[in-house]
Amino acid sequence: MAGSTEVYRASATAPVNIAVIKYWGKRDAVLNLPTNSSLSVTLSQSSLRAYTTASCSPTYPAEAGDTLTLNSKPQDIQASKRTLACLSDLRALRRNLENANPSLPKLSACPLRIVSENNFPTAAGLASSAAGFAALVRAIANLYELPQSASDLSRIARQGSGSACRSMMGGYVAWRTGVLEDGSDSLAEEVAPASHWPEMRALILVVSDVKKDVPSTTGMQATVATSALFPTRAETVVPARMTAIETAIINRDFPAFAEITMRDSNNFHATNLDTWPPTFYLNDVSRAAIRLVHDINRAAGETICAYTFDAGPNAVIYYLEKESERVIGTFRSILKAETQGWDGVFGDAVKHIKSGIALENLDSRAVGGLREGINTVILTGVGEGPLKVDKHLVSEAGEILDRAI
Ligand code: DP6
């Protein structure tokens, strides 16, 4: 490769995932090893995705080292131990390939130029780190032509952000806590592909809140250190729920899936209230959403929707496509007409639905609270894992581009 001026490039997109059994607590904060297993639904990339191009070239200046540009802004890669950990593991895998086959170009010796864009609405306040690290790991693994499986690579993405390991695959994904100290058995596994239960939909109610939430890393460390409820959650509550929700997914049993999802969200937020001093992620608008989901299910006479909340006030409402009328119709009749985000492939399919369960069946204060507190929604569904894409955010000559070509 000496004297080569070639620029090597590979690009990938990766999805967001929303946990139904939450990861909250680390037993090792450097390797991001969790205190309990977790399970999530991978969301369609038609609505939300991270897009990353990884490139390397002997022509890139060695003194600049590896570089990362995120949403057109250069990042200080040296300040992110998590990014450095991912790059170092991926490079070591490439080096092994090169050592075994000396005819391969020595990409592991070249600086990396990584460019990433995500399409999340800026006001959405959605954590982008899971999709971001999954896209970074997938793009570099493609660049280096690594033979490792998605599950193997999830160990690397996990070091970027715990929840990122679950964005390495589509459908219904478990992150097994593992027992080994080196973290080699703490990885993501597919429970079922998206095609097993493709009718799953997710309505994200974006809560307009100016308050900055306690970052999840800080919040979970405080919970582990101070909550008296936490050990029961990690040791007893979650292991039983993991088994039960996997069975519900295999059997496509929505009422069971929904009840476990809601109970786990509530249990996770209970450990936050039990943290000392307490951490609050839910606000009045979140509580209105909780009340309304229970009211909708009561009025329907069966469980047709379920809420879950991460480390912030946004509600994610899971439901099955066949219940679009009763679920989407009800939320559409509650929310303001000018609410943003009802577009896209999933929104187009329910455009004609304007009303669902009669509002007189619902708590009027909760109806008012939700109406005032939500200006944006994202309507999406279960989707596929990271995808290889042929357009790049770095030109053939190595220049950083604003859009993929
Ligand atoms: C509430 O994966 O963001 O969303 O590993 O410190 O980067 P770090 O934390 P992160 O935590 C996600 C917490 C959660 C639950 C979940 O996604 O399982």
Cα atoms in the 13 Å half-sphere on the side-chain side of 87: 22
Tell which atom from ligand 1 comes closest to the C-alpha of 268: 1
Provide the pLDDT for residue 123.
56
Task: In whole angstroms, give the CA distance from residue 69 to residue 398.
Answer: 13
Mutate to test the pocket of ligand 1, among 216, 269, 309, 316 (most ligand atoms within 8 A of CB): 216
Nearest residue (CA) to ligand 1, atom 1: 310
Q: pLDDT digit string (tens) for 258-295?
A: 999 999 999 999 999 999 999 999 999 999 999 999 99
189 by DSSP, 3-state: which? strand
> What separation in Å is there between the alpha carbon of 114 and the centre of ligand 1?
24
> What separation in Å is there between the alpha carbon of 158 and the centre of ligand 1?
10
**DSSP designation for 236:** I
Nearest residue (CA) to ligand 1, atom 7: 161
Q: Which residues line ligand 1 (CB under 6 A)?
A: 19, 22-24, 32, 38, 127, 129, 161-163, 216-217, 310-311
> What separation in Å is there between the alpha carbon of 100 and the centre of ligand 1?
37
Provide the pLDDT for residue 208.
72
59 by DSSP, 3-state: which? coil
Mutate to test the pocket of ligand 1, among 18, 41, 163 (most ligand atoms within 8 A of CB): 163
> What's the chain's average pLDDT?
96
Provide the pLDDT for residue 213.
81
Tell which atom from ligand 1 comes closest to the C-alpha of 217: 6
> What separation in Å is there between the alpha carbon of 188 and the centre of ligand 1?
14
Asked whether residue 126 carries a pLDDT value surpassing 70, the answer given is yes
Read off the pLDDT band of 128 (50, 70, 90).
confident
Nearest residue (CA) to ligand 1, atom 4: 310
Asked whether residue 8 carries a pLDDT value surpassing 60, the answer given is yes
Tell which atom from ligand 1 comes closest to the C-alpha of 130: 2
Phi then psi dihedrals of residue 377, to 5 deg: -125, 160
Asked whether residue 83 carries a pLDDT value surpassing 80, the answer given is yes
Q: Where are the domains of the chain?
A: 8-194, 200-381
Task: In whole angstroms, give the CA distance from residue 317 to residue 147.
Answer: 37
Tell which atom from ligand 1 comes closest to the C-alpha of 21: 18
Asked whether residue 130 carries a pLDDT value surpassing 90, the answer given is yes
Read off the pLDDT band of 144 (50, 70, 90).
very high
**Rounded alpha-carbon distances, angstroms, from residue 213 to 109, 126, 312, 378, 379:** 40, 11, 6, 20, 23
> What architecture (CATH level 2) is domain 200-381?
2-Layer Sandwich (3.30)
How far does the chain reach from its first CA to its final CA, in angstroms?
A: 26
Strands 49-56 and 200-207: unpaired
> What separation in Å is there between the alpha carbon of 288 and the centre of ligand 1?
24
Asked whether residue 19 carries a pLDDT value surpassing 70, the answer given is yes
Which CATH fold topology does 8-194 show?
A: Ribosomal Protein S5; domain 2 (3.30.230)
